[in-house]
Amino acid sequence: MPPFGCLIGIKLKNMGLLKTAIIGAAIYAGVKYITKKDPVTGKSVVDDLKDKAPEWMEKAKGYGNEFENRATYAKDDLGI
C-alpha cells in the first residue's frame, strides 16, 4: 500500500487537470458567447463594445479633466 501522501498527490494532480479543463471550457464558452451574432441586429457583444469605445474614451477624458481641475483647487485650498 502506498503512503498516504502519495495518494493525496495523485488526487491533487487529477484535480488540477480537471480544474484546468473546466476553466478552459468556461473560457471557450465565454468567447463563443461574446462573439456570437445576434439574429435580430446581426451584431455581437464585441461589435457593440467596439462601437461604444470611442464614446467611453471621450467620457473618460472628461472625467480626467474634471479630476485634474478638482486636484488643482484642492492644492490651492490646502496651500500645497
Spans of all domains in the chain = 1-35, 39-80
CB within 8 A of 36, min separation 6: which ones? 44, 45
pLDDT at 73: 85
Mean predicted confidence (pLDDT) in 46-52:
92
Q: With a cut of 70, say whether residue 14 has pLDDT above it.
A: no
> Measured between alpha carbons, how far is 46 from 37 in angstroms, rounded to an integer?
9
Q: With a cut of 60, say whether residue 59 has pLDDT above it.
A: yes
Q: With a cut of 70, say whether residue 51 has pLDDT above it.
A: yes
On the CB side of 37, how many CA atoms lie within 13 Å of its CA? 5
pTM of the model: 0.51
The pLDDT mean for the chain works out to 83
10 or 49: which leads in pLDDT = 49
pLDDT at 35: 92
> Measured between alpha carbons, how far is 43 from 36 in angstroms, rounded to an integer?
8
Helix, strand, coil tally for the chain in percent (to 5) = 80, 0, 20
